[in-house]
Chain A
Amino acid sequence: MISELQQLEKDALAELKTAKTEDQFSSIRIKYLGRKGLLTGLLRNIAQVPEAEKPLFGKLCNELKNKLNAEIDNALREQASRNKEDILLKEKIDVTLPGNLIKCGRIHPVIQVRREICSIFAAFGFSVVEGPEIELDYYNFEALNIPKDHPARDMQDTFYVEDNIVLRTHTSPVQVRVMEKVRPPLRILSPGKVYRRDSDVSHTPMFHQIEGLLVDKGVSFGDLKGILTAFLKKIFGEGTTLRFRPSFFPFTEPSAEVDIRCVMCGGKGCRVCGQSGWLEILGSGMVDPAVFKNVDYDTEEYSGFAFGLGLERIAMLKYGISDIRLFFENDIRFLKQF
């Protein structure tokens, strides 16, 4: 009788393995465990079992019954979850289609460069100041040591509104306006639009500049080199090579033009750097005592330096833009790249 029981277990488990649907599982349960089932049948015949084996046989029957029930339940659960997965898989979507939220816009590349430069100088303690774009001749020129009938006026071709009112040719007049009101120490940055009567592939009649000014006791040319070196390495990378060379601006003395090794050719000479291997990046210098005199700063007590750079030029070098006019044509296909 016990061997029959063992055979029954074997058959039942084998049958369970081949079953797939819920119905099949139910009929297996009925076939073996139902009231007229095979195991129930064996149990009914317990009388034929020798008396000594009866307790064991009963126990085995019960164990088998529990085991089969558990196996069938388990198989049913597995089957149910398999079916659910199948249903979810049928709901599969195309994950490669683009998302449907509104696509964000872009910040104008020149403004991006302005932000970057302002935040670098903010870390050096410079705050942003502003002034008018349509400016008095006095602030744009004379207070900056560029008198009327001086050849230095040729350096910047000027738009005139009245004889003594111009579109500012640089953002430097702001430094004079600030110095008239604020006593040193001073660390200011004046970004903004400037205007020059010029138009070709590398000049537009309007462009953006940032001018910086630092005035304090004991500021030296070495400090100018230090701040500008730190700045250029931040914006063009730690590996940037730069050089300072003498130049002339009426409002600074000594004046320095700052060049970096050409970012396009690495100094070998190319079209962008005019074969020189160097790119002019900014103009700078120690504030000329004549400028300090105009704002009543004591030139023996205070010294300082100023610098100015064109934002379009920086953006052109950073992003590989060859024609400055693209910045103001506002072709959306151009702007979307930044």
Chain B
Amino acid sequence: MLVSLKWLKDYVDIELTAEELAHQLTMAGLEVDEIKTIRPQFSGVVVAKILAVKPHPSADRLSLCDVTDGTENYPVVCGAKNIAPGDIVPLAKVGAVIPGGYTIKSSVLRGEKSDGMLCSEAELEIGDDASGIMHLNADLTLGSPLEVALNIEDTVLDVNVTPNRSDCLSMIGMAREVAAITGKKMKLPSVKIKESSEDINSLTSVKIIDSDVCPRYTARMIKNVEIKSSPVWMKTRLEAAGLRAINNIVDVTNFVMLEMGQPLHAFDFRFLEEGRIVVRKSKENEEFISLDEKKHTLPADTLLICDGVKPVAIGGIMGGLNSEVKEDTQVVLLESAYFNPSSIRRSARKLAMPTDAAFRFERGIDPEGVVKALNRAAQLIADLSGGSICKNYIDEYPNKIISAENIPLRLERIREVIGIEIGTKDVVKILRSIGMTVKQEGRGRYLVTPPTCRVDILREIDLIEEVIRLYGYDRVPVTLPAVSVNEMEVIPRLEMEERIRQLLIGSGYTEIVNYSFGSPLFADAINLPENDERRRSVRIKNPLGEDLSSMRTTMIYGLLETAKRNANNGSFDLKIFEIGRIFLDRRQDRLPEEKNVFAGLLTGKITDDFWGSNKTVDFYTLKGSLENIFVDLKINNCRYVSTVVEPFLHPGKSCGIFLDDKQIGFLGEIHPDVEEKIGLKTCIYVFEINLDFLVEAYLGRKISCQEISKYPAVTRDAAFIIPYTMEADRMLNIVLGQKEDLLENVSIFDVYSDKGFEEGTKSLGLRFSYRASDRTLTDLEANTVHDRIVQKTVTLTGAKIRY
């Protein structure tokens, strides 16, 4: 809401500076976003008087004027016709600057000297009138600067009115707040209607069919109006409020809307067929052309103002082209009505017509202000257009609009909510300052009736808010709540996430956060087959763009895009991870499934920019990072299953991660086809793990401490030649499966293959560690058990021993 201070001062005296007022309004809940100064776009223009007008000797269209600014006389050549001796006009003297940046110079026009320029409204951008020289009031002081004489400078506050304060969407509403804050009295415009003898009821009628959406409709008729442009005072006020001046009738409806908060509409009565108004809801797909010349196909239940035959306005939103006030309009039917707020809001949204009128109606206007605004506008129209107001007004009011009355208020409750006692006198004074009626009901108990414009005040708490708002938030002392103990369940996953985050950054990974939505094309980009559940993505109905329309079902695509963006920026070595949610659609009307996951991506050199090593990452770098996490979380039963292959991973360098029989995630190298589709060039390794599954294992973790043996271990190595495809895990299982008591540990020390080997084989070097808990093992004992294990392993696997 743009609030012109000059206009505001019509209704309340203001002694504060604009900055002080802005601060006080802000601290009362009417936040001032900006303070703007409106200055004229000219300088050096003064009030002057024409002394004489003579025809130009050598140019028919020009005349020679003798002009005075009260101290000096100037010869001025002028092209306008509407000037005569005695006229008071604006004179741009030599050296003056007029809008557009032109500087006035002394010149000679067709042989005659001209020391200045007489100006039109349009030339000074005071108004739109370019038809002739602007005429000023005779009582202005000659020689005074025009901006001072016309009081053109103004300050405008841009006030952010919250949705509950519809009462402040008007100058009078703002003035009421200012008066309450500063303790000044309000000055309301006086309305004196002079009616003609012709009764409106003999000329027209109003019939409300759907009174649920239109509880009240009032109208007045003004005859014999003359359409012209509005006076400067009105134009400058409208423009300061951000509206364009159109003509005296339309301007009055806008002016009164801004002044009192009641939207109005003026019809040209001659276009109303059957000369009457009918208010009803639209049928599905009725068509209508609004006065901005746009054609609308109306949804059902749009509120329509009709004449006897056809719609002439979308009620509360915009008038129709077929009945708008034109240059030759003579009879005006003026509408002032109350429309149902939610109905207007629904229609304005469906039609995408957020007009000033709709904005006010949907927030709720003052139901008792309808007739006041009608009379004020009728009087202004009559004043500005020379028209005469017909006798009486129509007031169809089938549905009483209920305003809150006698809301109980307890002083004790105020104290409880705010935390301190505010005295009875102060409370009553504050409430009365904003127009509330306060009746005492008993000790510390009141019945409060708010003014009808305060549609937001219905309950005790609404009154308490008003009290504290005007008392001042800054005067409420700071306290701390008493501690009461309540035991909330903690979320174990969050604690686990923190450990994972810490471990990953320790391993060199940096955390990223991607949008939860992206392009629906991701599924094709990462080769998901038709039946993959990750194609069941949740779609946003009104996305910012197609590429942000699909909720992610995996984090992998986002990580790959991040890698690509970084590669484009020259960062090729990346270790990144993300913790967040993925979303899977279920059926309609059920909330989607949300899974907590963490995922990571690895590419490039192991240590960025290290001068000592240029090793690049591989599958085992990534697996090591994950193993580290599982060790820390005490989850030691993870299995890596190579037969479970994700469609976007390299089938030979990837695996599923399992806890018992449940897959909790995957890791591996990105499939070259996917890399190519996305436009990535280096080898990329990724993982994704479901945190909800992992946390179950985390909660079941146990630490049971083993005694440390006092006796030394004996180690023996053996290398087995086995088929290339045989996995190390299987060999270890076979060894451990023999359950030899003395075998403490077996580990892999070497994986090797060369040309000398039989094709399709590799050597797996195992280191066996033997120990007894009660004695030092002899070589013989160690050798016996070692030979037994090696022999049995060979028998079970068909491996050969490599010597």
Distance in angstroms from B302 CB to nearest chain A CB is 14
* Interface stretch (choices B254-262, B483-491, B733-741, B792-800): B483-491
* Interface stretch (choices A47-55, A66-74, A76-84, A322-330): A322-330
Asked if B508 lies at the interface with its beta carbon under 8 angstroms from chain A, I say: yes
A256 is contacted by which of B473, B565, B606 (Cβ under 8 Å)? B473
B488 is contacted by which of A160, A167, A182, A257 (Cβ under 8 Å)? A182
Answer whether A303 and B416 are a contact pair too, CB < 8 Å, given A134-B591, A205-B544, A288-B461: yes
Chain A positions 40-63 with a Cβ under 8 Å from a chain B Cβ: none
Distance in angstroms from A180 CB to nearest chain B CB is 15
Residue of B nearest to A223 (CB): B481
* Interface stretch (choices B190-198, B208-216, B389-397, B463-471): B463-471
Chain B residues lying within 8 Å of A98, measured Cβ to Cβ, are: 609-611
* Interface stretch (choices B100-108, B307-315, B534-542, B783-791): B534-542
Tell me whether A100 and B510 are in contact (CB under 8 A): no
Asked if B163 lies at the interface with its beta carbon under 8 angstroms from chain A, I say: yes
Tell me whether A103 and B607 are in contact (CB under 8 A): yes
Residue of B nearest to A148 (CB): B342
- The contact string, 1 if C-beta is below 8 Å from chain A, for chain B 532-560, is 00000011111110001001000000000
Q: Once bound together, how far apart are the Cα atoms of A333 and B477, in whole Å?
A: 46
Tell me whether A149 and B346 are in contact (CB under 8 A): yes
Q: Once bound together, how far apart are the Cα atoms of A222 and B468, in whole Å?
A: 11
Chain A residues lying within 8 Å of B608, measured Cβ to Cβ, are: 103
* Chain B at the A interface: SS class: loop
A199 is contacted by which of B473, B544, B611 (Cβ under 8 Å)? B544
What's the count of A-B pairs with C-beta under 8 Å?
247
Tell me whether B488 and A102 are in contact (CB under 8 A): no
Chain B residues lying within 8 Å of A220, measured Cβ to Cβ, are: 416-419, 479
A-side residues, CB < 8 A to B, are 97-98, 100-108, 110-111, 125, 127-130, 132-136, 148-152, 154-155, 159-162, 164-165, 167, 182, 184-188, 193, 195, 197, 199, 204-206, 214, 216-223, 225-227, 229-230, 243-248, 253-257, 274, 286, 288-289, 303, 327-333, 335-336
Distance in angstroms from A111 CB to nearest chain B CB is 6
* Chain A at the B interface: SS class: mixed
* Interface stretch (choices B47-55, B581-589, B677-685, B713-721): B581-589
Chain B residues lying within 8 Å of A197, measured Cβ to Cβ, are: 542, 544
Tell me whether B163 and A248 are in contact (CB under 8 A): yes
User: Which size bracket describes the interface of B in this complex?
Assistant: 35 or more
Residue of A nearest to B510 (CB): A105
Q: Once bound together, how far apart are the Cα atoms of A197 and B469, in whole Å?
A: 32
Tell me whether B473 and A222 are in contact (CB under 8 A): no
Residue of B nearest to A163 (CB): B541
B26, B165, B511, B608: which has the most chain A beta carbons within 10 Å?
B511
8 A-B residue pairs with CB within 8 Å: A127-B489, A133-B581, A151-B163, A161-B539, A162-B589, A221-B419, A246-B29, A303-B417
Tell me whether A127 and B541 are in contact (CB under 8 A): no
Chain A residues lying within 8 Å of B513, measured Cβ to Cβ, are: 108, 110-111, 327-328, 330
Tell me whether A107 and B478 are in contact (CB under 8 A): no
Tell me whether B462 and A253 are in contact (CB under 8 A): yes
Q: A160-B542, A225-B477 are in contact. List 10 more A-B contacts (CB 8 A).
A: A98-B611, A103-B508, A133-B594, A134-B551, A155-B163, A206-B515, A220-B419, A225-B479, A288-B461, A330-B566
Tell me whether B484 and A216 are in contact (CB under 8 A): yes
Q: Once bound together, how far apart are the Cα atoms of A187 and B164, in whole Å?
A: 28
Tell me whether B418 and A221 are in contact (CB under 8 A): yes
Chain A residues lying within 8 Å of B544, measured Cβ to Cβ, are: 197, 199, 205
Chain A residues lying within 8 Å of B551, measured Cβ to Cβ, are: 134
Distance in angstroms from A109 CB to nearest chain B CB is 9
Asked if B506 lies at the interface with its beta carbon under 8 angstroms from chain A, I say: yes
Chain A residues lying within 8 Å of B574, measured Cβ to Cβ, are: 332
Distance in angstroms from A146 CB to nearest chain B CB is 10
Chain A residues lying within 8 Å of B462, measured Cβ to Cβ, are: 253
Q: Once bound together, how far apart are the Cα atoms of A78 and B512, in whole Å?
A: 60
Tell me whether A222 and B420 are in contact (CB under 8 A): yes
> Which 8 A-B residue pairings sit nearest by Cβ, starting from the closest?
A222-B419, A246-B29, A220-B419, A248-B162, A149-B342, A105-B510, A222-B479, A127-B488
Distance in angstroms from B610 CB to nearest chain A CB is 5
Q: Once bound together, how far apart are the Cα atoms of A104 and B566, in whole Å?
A: 19
Chain A residues lying within 8 Å of B506, measured Cβ to Cβ, are: 104-105
Answer whether A335 and B488 are a contact pair too, CB < 8 Å, given A205-B548, A253-B465: no
Tell me whether A227 and B29 are in contact (CB under 8 A): no
B481 is contacted by which of A111, A226, A255, A333 (Cβ under 8 Å)? A226
- The contact string, 1 if C-beta is below 8 Å from chain A, for chain B 18-61, is 00000000111101011000000000000000000000000000
Q: Once bound together, how far apart are the Cα atoms of A104 and B501, in whole Å?
A: 11
Chain A residues lying within 8 Å of B538, measured Cβ to Cβ, are: 134, 161
Tell me whether A254 and B469 are in contact (CB under 8 A): yes
Distance in angstroms from B611 CB to nearest chain A CB is 6
Chain A residues lying within 8 Å of B588, measured Cβ to Cβ, are: 162
Chain B residues lying within 8 Å of A328, measured Cβ to Cβ, are: 513-515
Residue of B nearest to A155 (CB): B163
A154 is contacted by which of B28, B163, B581, B583 (Cβ under 8 Å)? B163
B345 is contacted by which of A149, A195, A229 (Cβ under 8 Å)? A149
Answer whether A152 and B163 are a contact pair too, CB < 8 Å, given A220-B416, A330-B513: yes
Tell me whether B491 and A218 are in contact (CB under 8 A): no
Answer whether A102 and B508 are a contact pair too, CB < 8 Å, given A107-B501, A256-B473: yes
Tell me whether A335 and B591 are in contact (CB under 8 A): no
Asked if B282 lies at the interface with its beta carbon under 8 angstroms from chain A, I say: no
Chain A residues lying within 8 Å of B569, measured Cβ to Cβ, are: 331, 333
Distance in angstroms from B477 CB to nearest chain A CB is 6
Tell me whether A100 and B469 are in contact (CB under 8 A): no
Q: Once bound together, how far apart are the Cα atoms of A149 and B724, in whole Å?
A: 69
Residue of A nearest to B464 (CB): A254
Answer whether A105 and B565 are a contact pair too, CB < 8 Å, given A221-B468, A335-B510: no
Answer whether A193 and B580 are a contact pair too, CB < 8 Å, given A128-B494, A223-B481: yes
Asked if B571 lies at the interface with its beta carbon under 8 angstroms from chain A, I say: yes
Tell me whether A216 and B481 are in contact (CB under 8 A): yes
Distance in angstroms from A319 CB to nearest chain B CB is 15
B511 is contacted by which of A107, A160, A184, A223 (Cβ under 8 Å)? A107
Residue of B nearest to A225 (CB): B478
Q: Once bound together, how far apart are the Cα atoms of A128 and B498, in whole Å?
A: 13
Distance in angstroms from A158 CB to nearest chain B CB is 8
Chain A residues lying within 8 Å of B164, measured Cβ to Cβ, are: 152, 248
Q: Once bound together, how far apart are the Cα atoms of A272 and B33, in whole Å?
A: 14
B165, B341, B362, B481: which has the most chain A beta carbons within 10 Å?
B481
Residue of B nearest to A125 (CB): B483
Distance in angstroms from B551 CB to nearest chain A CB is 7
Chain A residues lying within 8 Å of B576, measured Cβ to Cβ, are: 105, 330, 332
Q: Once bound together, how far apart are the Cα atoms of A245 and B164, in whole Å?
A: 16
Asked if B139 lies at the interface with its beta carbon under 8 angstroms from chain A, I say: no
Chain B residues lying within 8 Å of A134, measured Cβ to Cβ, are: 538, 551, 583, 591-592, 594
Tell me whether A105 and B508 are in contact (CB under 8 A): yes
Q: Once bound together, how far apart are the Cα atoms of A103 and B551, in whole Å?
A: 33
